[in-house]
Amino acid sequence: TILISSLGLGTTLTFIGSHWLLVWMGLEINTLAIIPLMISQNHPRAVEATTKYFITQATASTLLLFASVTNAWTSGEWSLIEMLNPASATLATVALALKIGLAPLHFWLPEVLQGLDLTTGLILSTWQKLAPFAILLQLYPLLNPNLLLFLGILSTIIGGWGGLNQTQLRKILAYSSIANLGWMITILHYAPNLTLLNLILYITMTLTTFLLFKIFNSTKINSIASSSTKSPLLSIIALLTLLSLGGLPPLSGFMPKWLILQELTKQSLFIPATIMALMALLSLFFYLRLCYATTLTMNPNPTNMLSSWRTKPNHFTLILLTSATLSILL
């Protein structure tokens, strides 16, 4: 209870703060609250993931503090929206990119997510993105649009290519997260409301996907193949959610991608828009692979059918129902 409420407190502090030190403190509380949750499963992989996470987050926090201090030193302002020093703004962008795992600062994210269980992985993929994005959405007019565009396009490229040769579901979700964050960052300078829309939809779809994998109890592609025998309905929901994450019309995930491409062409950024549309196809490829494994492959061992044909409904049902409806039909 203490850890979860600290997570909430850290994010809320960052949301409401306008003083750089208060915002930084919120991010720190957030990081320190999730570390015991990560290490709680007493597994060597969990310990390794927690250590990697702690080191990268500490580096990002130090960079952010340095950026805010240099800004205060040159301009005499501690307010969040008065970051007038361009060097400080660039440093802050890099620090926040490291915090949320944008390419080329993404190396920690797949490794860390792979070492965690699905519940903590869900918190890391959704809740931990809120506070840095709250800062970015306030700072966007002062940030360098070319740097944001570079980070965004590189993230979509690496998120697309990186997920192709993975068999672990958590790593696939990590690369999917990198690609989605790339879309959000690219459009941040031109239409921040689209970034917010994309973030909300991404969180909804990721929540649904993690809950489904948790109910199927699967962490690899080959173990998800038995899901259709356990619960046919859930496997169809999984299929639609994954296609929505890939951005196929008429599902929810198509909307932000369409609007972002439209906005990029309005800004005459044709080459970035083309690159991102092509990279979305790569992401779609590994989502389709997951769909194929989930619904179109029969479980090779039919004797299992006698023991547990249907999965027992558990306490996620209401949340899952709501988030699945939103991530498919919005």
User: Which has the minimum average pLDDT: 73-77, 150-154, 200-204?
Assistant: 73-77
Distance (Å, whole) CA 283 – CA 273 = 15
Encode pLDDT of 220-255 as tens digits. Answer: 988 888 777 778 888 899 999 999 999 999 999 999
* pLDDT value of residue 132: 97
307 HSE (CA, 13 A, CB side)? 5
Contact 190, 198 (CB under 8 A): no
Confidence of residue 307 (pLDDT cuts 50, 70, 90): very low
Q: Are 110 and 98 in contact (CB under 8 A)?
A: no
For the cut 80, the answer to whether the pLDDT of residue 42 exceeds it is yes
Task: With H, G, I as helix, E, B as strand and everything else as coil, classify residue 274.
Answer: helix
CA distance 105 to 300: 40
Summarised one tens digit per residue, pLDDT across range 43-68 is 999 999 999 999 999 999 999 999 99
pLDDT: which is higher, 33 or 294: 33
Q: What's the confidence (pLDDT) of residue 41?
A: 86
Distance CA 283, CA 176 (A): 7
pLDDT at 299 over 70: no
Only one residue has tokens 């580096």, namely 59
pLDDT of res. 301? 58
> Are 188 and 150 spatial neighbours (Cβ–Cβ below 8 Å)?
no
Question: Which residues is 220 bridged to in the sheet?
Answer: 168
- Sequence letter at residue 220: K
Under 8 Å CB-to-CB from 223, ≥6 apart: which residues? Answer: 216, 217
The answer on pLDDT for 162 being more than 70 is: yes
Instruction: Tokens for 184, please give them.
Output: 């959000």
- What values do phi and psi take at 280, rounded to 5? -65, -30
Measuring CA to CA, which residue among 113, 124, 185, 114 is closest to residue 154?
A: 185
Q: What is the mean pLDDT of residues 175-190?
A: 97
Instruction: Quote helix, strand, coil % in the chain, to nearest 5.
Output: 75, 0, 20
Q: What is the pLDDT of residue 308?
A: 52
Cβ atoms of 286 and 164 within 8 Å: the answer is yes
pLDDT of residue 306: 46
Residue 53 to residues 34, 40, 100, 104, 121, Cα–Cα distance (Å): 10, 14, 11, 16, 12
pTM, 2 dp: 0.93
Place of tokens 């930084």: 24
Give yes or no for a cis peptide into 313 (omega within 30° of 0).
Answer: no
Question: Tokens at residue 58, please?
Answer: 């500490």
Q: Which of 19-28, 172-181, 277-286, 293-302 has the lowest mean pLDDT?
A: 293-302
User: Looking at residues 134-158, what average pLDDT do you find?
Assistant: 96
Tell me which amino acid residue 201 is.
Answer: L
Rounded Cα–Cα distance for residues 133 and 93 (Å): 11
Reduced 3-state DSSP string for 69-98: HHHHHHHCCCECCCCCCHHHHHHHHHHHHH
How many CB atoms sit inside 10 A of residue 284's CB?
A: 18
* Mean pLDDT for all residues in the chain: 92
pLDDT digits (tens, 9 = 90+) for 103-127: 999 999 999 999 999 999 999 999 9
